[in-house]
Structure 1
Amino acid sequence: MPLIGYLNRFRPPVDASVLVDATPWLTDPLFWPAFLLSVGGSSTAAVAFDLDPADVEVYGEELHQHDSWPVISLDLAQGHRMHILFRNYEDDSGWDYLLQPAASDDVINVAALEGGFHGPALSWPELVRTASQPDPKHSQAERLLLLLPAVGDAAIPRGANQVVAAAVTNVGAQRRQNVVAGELLAGSDRFWGSSDWTKQEGLLVCLDHHSPRHLETPADRLALLAEAFGG
């Protein structure tokens, strides 16, 4: 199991029995507003899905029980995978984006929201490419919304709001989709602010040092991450 090594990094180590495959939960009407609120930072999500905010908050609390660590896994380019983990460790909870390189059981923490403060993992164009990848388990809208919290990009295009709003509609929102989209796009400011990207020897790098893809990151690691996100 690829997350065993990751769980062993905690002190004391975390038993793998806490891991729960949360993929089936995406069909629960309460999942998306709870995810977009807690991970994405959208305070309007419950209203957009025409749900009672109190019910969404209760569901969100259930996602963060210490004895259960939900994980959602996505296939990336070239056989790489992304594990989105609710890190429900007592006194150090948050959400981790863990990249599993192809043919490896190891994982690389490419973004940590709350606690570790690590990221961003990818740029806006990479998000669009990665979300568009064919996936028998997840729709393009689901992939985009699941990965969006790990994005940080000062050059997000003007039409991004419409792209995100369409995804929010696709997973069940009935109103105020543009407001939710705006909140989600601004959500990364809670963690690493607006991030600039550039090219270094043909490889995409982030100018924020707390990104796993900063200017001093080894070239082989930069190449691996670029490949995973469709570069």
Structure 2
Amino acid sequence: MALTVHIPEYLEDCELVAGEDLAREPAFWLAHLMLTVGDPSEDPERYGVDASVYEEMVERLSNPEEPWPVLRVPFDGGHTAYVVYANFDDANNVDFFVRHPAWGRLGYLGQCGADEAGPGLSWTELAMLAQATQNSSEGLTDGSQHLLLLLPMLGDAEMPREACRMVAQALTRCGIRPDTADELATVLVGEQEPDSEPRWTVTADSPIAVCSSTYSPRHIPLALGITPSQAQAVADALNGRG
């Protein structure tokens, strides 16, 4: 039986269950990425995933009759990144947010699905969360899984050359066919044009970087209203200064 997950600041009228067991299946990773940033109609066999298994996974991740799956990435300072498959009767969203038990609020990164909002992470932040190695009894512990789970929130005009290579390696480690991983990584990461958006900057108002996109929840500082010391702590954690 899946463990119930309680997030006090999240929606009250929903049942949440730990979904980390799903991460054992390559079908989950392909479904997660196709449902959020890819093309759900792609042939899963092309990526080494059985079509019937893929369809079952998509149904599991979008079924409003079932408790909502939650996957977690614990990182420095007691913070946790959450990904929730929020399945209403009339809409399916994937919610991404950060939480600390002392905040009393959530720091929203964005959404994929019926209600799009994002991006929610710079490349620097995503790469740091991929490396998170906190000792925790809850959540994912594998760096490749961290990277792919949070990849849908990536949006950054200043991407390093190795970004696609890192994503391709993560795809292979999570069970995607190696000879298709490079091409899929390029599609998922996208190609940045000179002088493109979005960009991330730190202002005098907060140590937490904000995003230039008006469609991003991070157009304002993450978890607005937390104390200055809490803001500094999460900024340090997201940038590897913890």
| 1:28 has 2:25 as partner | yes
Unaligned runs of 5+ in 1: 9-13, 188-192
Q: With the length of structure 2 as denominator, give the TM-score of the two structures.
A: 0.78
| Residue among 210, 221, 236 paired with 1:205 | 210
- Mapped to 2, the partners of 1:58 and 1:27 lie a distance apart of 15
Is the alpha carbon distance of 1:172 and 1:48 closer, same or farther for their aligned partners in structure 2, counting shifts above 3 Å?
farther
Q: What corresponds to 1:182 in structure 2?
A: 186
Letter in 1 for 2:54: V
Letter in 1 for 2:93: G
- Mapped to 2, the partners of 1:29 and 1:108 lie a distance apart of 29
| Residue among 148, 159, 163 paired with 1:160 | 163
Shift of 1:153: 0.7
Structure 1 counterpart SS, 2:98 = strand
Structure 2 counterpart SS, 1:72 = strand
Structure 1 counterpart SS, 2:219 = coil
Is the alpha carbon distance of 1:149 and 1:102 closer, same or farther for their aligned partners in structure 2, counting shifts above 3 Å?
same
Shift of 1:215: 5.3
- Mapped to 1, the partners of 2:158 and 2:208 lie a distance apart of 17
| Residue among 63, 66, 78 paired with 1:65 | 63
- Mapped to 2, the partners of 1:226 and 1:59 lie a distance apart of 35
| Residue among 3, 16, 23 paired with 2:7 | 3
Shift of 1:96: 0.3
RMSD of aligned C-alpha atoms? Answer: 2.8
Q: What corresponds to 1:86 in structure 2?
A: 85
Superposition map of 1:115-154 within 5 A: 115-135=114-134, 137-154=140-157
Structure 2 counterpart SS, 1:145 = helix
Is the alpha carbon distance of 1:209 and 1:222 closer, same or farther for their aligned partners in structure 2, counting shifts above 3 Å?
farther
Q: What corresponds to 1:190 in structure 2?
A: none
| Residue among 44, 48, 51 paired with 2:49 | 51
Q: Which moved more, 1:202-211 or 1:73-82?
A: 202-211
Letter in 1 for 2:60: E
- Mapped to 1, the partners of 2:231 and 2:211 lie a distance apart of 10
- Mapped to 1, the partners of 2:130 and 2:64 lie a distance apart of 30
Shift of 1:161: 0.7
Structure 2 counterpart SS, 1:168 = helix
Poorly superposed stretches of 4+, deviation over 6 Å: none
- Mapped to 2, the partners of 1:6 and 1:114 lie a distance apart of 18
Q: Is the 8 A contact 2:26 2:174 kept in 1?
A: no
Q: Is the 8 A contact 1:39 1:149 kept in 2?
A: yes
Q: With the length of structure 1 as denominator, give the TM-score of the two structures.
A: 0.81
Identity of aligned residues (%): 28
Letter in 1 for 2:90: D
- Mapped to 2, the partners of 1:225 and 1:48 lie a distance apart of 39
Number of aligned residues? 219
Is the alpha carbon distance of 1:22 and 1:177 closer, same or farther for their aligned partners in structure 2, counting shifts above 3 Å?
same
| 1:226 has 2:230 as partner | no
- Mapped to 2, the partners of 1:57 and 1:186 lie a distance apart of 26
Q: Which moved more, 1:51-60 or 1:70-79?
A: 51-60
Shift of 1:135: 4.4
